[in-house]
């Protein structure tokens, strides 16, 4: 669903420029998402704010920071106001959660069917998250399961969110 102005609980998808964006694109390609159009995801919150995961830790910022940026807003169809409220309320629990570069390794090993004993458990135990994993986790905490394939949240990429909700 695309809005002219995003609603609380919507997911913003955008590109990241520079070397970081290129590395994420490559990681998504390894994951089977091609050289994707979206490398970053964030959760829209009430009062024109957002929650996003960044290398310095997850933080809440003004939505206006993405003004003038090409952002695609998506969300599940038939998301109720109550669900939106619960999803956004979950965001407060994740402020400061460190970023996880190890998730990209877990995604790559999963994609190429390489078994690395204990990797998934270790990544989960660090409580670090990438941007798309953070958004998926807020949805889960709000009682909305985005993916019906039983995937581990660490395997959620920005392009997986796009393909599920906008593709």
CA distance 127 to 41: 18
Model pTM score: 0.81
Q: Is 32 left (phi over 0), alpha (psi -120 to 50) or beta?
A: left
Give residues with Cβ within 8 angstroms of 84, minimum separation 6: 7, 8, 9, 142
Exposure letters 86-103 (e unless 16+ CB within 10 A, then b): bbbebbeebeebebbebb
Question: How many of the other CB atoms lie within 10 Å of CB of 27?
Answer: 21
pLDDT at residue 161 tops 70? yes
| 154 or 67, higher pLDDT | 67
Segment 83-110 shows an average pLDDT of 81
Q: What pLDDT was estimated at residue 122?
A: 61
Domains of the chain listed by start with CATH number:
11-165 (3.90.1720.10)
Q: What pLDDT was estimated at residue 31?
A: 58
| Cα angle for residues 13, 67, 132 (degrees, 5° grid) | 20
Look at residue 43 and give its three-state secondary structure. strand
CA distance 111 to 26: 13
pLDDT at residue 90 tops 90? yes
Q: What pLDDT was estimated at residue 13?
A: 94
40 near 16, Cβ under 8 Å? yes
The candidate with the shortest Cα–Cα distance to 95, out of 55, 58, 52, is 58
Which two tokens mark 53?
A: 């995961």
The model's pLDDT over 138-160, given as tens digits with 9 standing for 90+, comes to: 999 999 999 998 877 677 888 88
């Amino acid at each position: 669903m695309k809005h002219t102005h995003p609603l609380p609980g919507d997911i913003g998808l955008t590109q990241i420029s520079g070397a970081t964006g290129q590395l994420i694109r490559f990681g998504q390609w390894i994951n089977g998402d091609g050289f994707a159009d979206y490398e970053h995801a964030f959760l829209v919150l009430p009062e024109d704010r957002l929650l996003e995961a960044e290398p310095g830790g997850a933080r809440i910022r003004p939505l206006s920071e993405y003004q003038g940026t090409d952002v695609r807003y998506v969300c599940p169809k038939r998301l109720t106001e109550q669900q939106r409220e619960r999803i956004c309320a979950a965001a407060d629990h994740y402020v400061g959660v460190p970023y996880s570069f190890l998730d990209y390794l877990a995604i790559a090993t999963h994609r190429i069917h390489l078994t690395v004993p204990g990797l998934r458990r270790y990544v989960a135990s660090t409580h670090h998250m990438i941007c798309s994993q953070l958004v998926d986790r807020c949805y889960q905490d709000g009682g909305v399961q985005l993916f019906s394939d039983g995937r581990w949240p660490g395997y959620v990429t920005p392009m997986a969110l796009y393909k599920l909700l906008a593709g």
